[in-house]
């Protein structure tokens, strides 16, 4: 993170772009975050290589940015990955715009997004849950029904 945030200063101080990338490769999401800047300074990175090195959950979070640079990503394949264990509600528009299946999104929504927190249904944490329900009622219902059936199955 800190290497990525200081690329210009590192280059001005004489660091080679290859060494900067080497220090960022343990977290390829930061390479993607600074992809354009690194390539502008001679990195010659291929977007497919950067995306291939990333965790699927980081790719899901950075879909639009990766695709802006030409990455070929199937959002539904990504949602099928067992490594993707959550979907952020604020990323739903982006996923739907890229052709994501609403059911696949709902399958990855965290139980607390539909009101099930710490082993019980929360009747008072309305604001984010209500906003989610109003904006994406179909996905909310699918996620709620999934969580409800999981809770019933655990109780049985």
Task: In the chain, count H helices and then E strands.
Answer: 13, 2
Mean pLDDT of the chain: 88
The model's confidence at residue 126, banded by pLDDT at 50, 70 and 90, is low
Which pLDDT does position 80 carry in this prediction? 96
Q: What's the confidence (pLDDT) of residue 1?
A: 63
Q: pLDDT tens, 10-55? A: 888 888 887 788 877 778 888 898 899 889 988 889 999 999 999 9
87 touches 102 (CB < 8 A) = no
Cβ atoms 78, 60 nearer than 8 A? yes
Q: How much is the pLDDT for 12?
A: 84
Contact 35, 50 (CB under 8 A): yes
Quote the pLDDT of residue 109: 93
């Amino acid at each position: 993170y800190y290497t990525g945030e200081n690329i210009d200063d590192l280059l001005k101080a004489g660091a080679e772009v290859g060494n900067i990338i080497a220090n960022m490769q343990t977290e390829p999401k930061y390479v993607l975050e600074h992809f354009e800047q690194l390539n502008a300074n001679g990195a010659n990175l291929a977007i497919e290589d950067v995306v291939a090195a990333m965790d699927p959950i980081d790719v899901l979070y950075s879909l639009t940015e990766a695709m802006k640079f030409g990455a070929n990503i199937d959002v539904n394949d990504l949602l099928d990955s067992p490594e993707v264990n959550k979907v952020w509600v604020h990323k739903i528009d982006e996923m739907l715009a890229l052709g994501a299946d609403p059911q696949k999104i709902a399958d990855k929504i965290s139980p607390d997004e539909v009101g099930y927190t710490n082993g019980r249904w929360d009747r008072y944490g309305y604001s984010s849950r209500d906003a989610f329900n109003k904006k994406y009622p179909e996905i909310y219902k699918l996620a709620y029904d999934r969580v409800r059936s999981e809770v019933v199955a655990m109780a049985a």
